Amino acid sequence: MLDTCTSVDLDLLDPADLPAVPEVTAISAAELQQRLDLMIAATASSRNLPIYTRSAADFAGMSSMVTVTGLQLMPRRRWCDGAGTPPARRGG
């Protein structure tokens, strides 16, 4: 896992220590998310793998590059009746 989140306290930096042409740029959270989605799509495409996601809209426009399958969260099942009895097992 690559940590792409870094914060810099500009009050602690001496401007003389900074390069003439900065190499670090600030991007918004939305831009970062879009870049990460592109990295995910590029990795999946290079491995010829589909993407399964709850956020299929984030991969809109990438259908020529990768197969995207949207998933929905299933409602939480109630695993016992009010008396604490677990459900009967299927198939023996």
- Per-residue pLDDT of 45-59, as tens digits, reads 999 999 999 889 999
- Tell me, rounded to whole angstroms, the distance of Cα 76 from its chain centroid: 23
For 34, the domain range is 23-70
Residue 47 inside a domain? The answer is yes
Q: Decide: helix, strand or coil at residue 11.
A: helix
Residue 52 inside a domain? The answer is yes
What confidence category does residue 1 fall into, taking pLDDT thresholds of 50, 70 and 90?
very low
Phi-psi region of 91 (alpha: psi -120 to 50; beta: other; left: phi over 0): left
Residue 9 inside a domain? The answer is no
Instruction: Please list the alpha-helical segments (H only) found in the chain.
Output: 29-46
The pLDDT tens digits of the residues spanning 14-36 come to 778 777 766 666 677 788 888 89
Sole residue written with tokens 């989140």: 5
Residue 18 inside a domain? The answer is no
DSSP 8-state code for residue 62:
-
Residue 43 inside a domain? The answer is yes
The bridge status of strand 68-70 relative to strand 51-53 is parallel
Number of domains in the chain: 1
Residue 62 inside a domain? The answer is yes
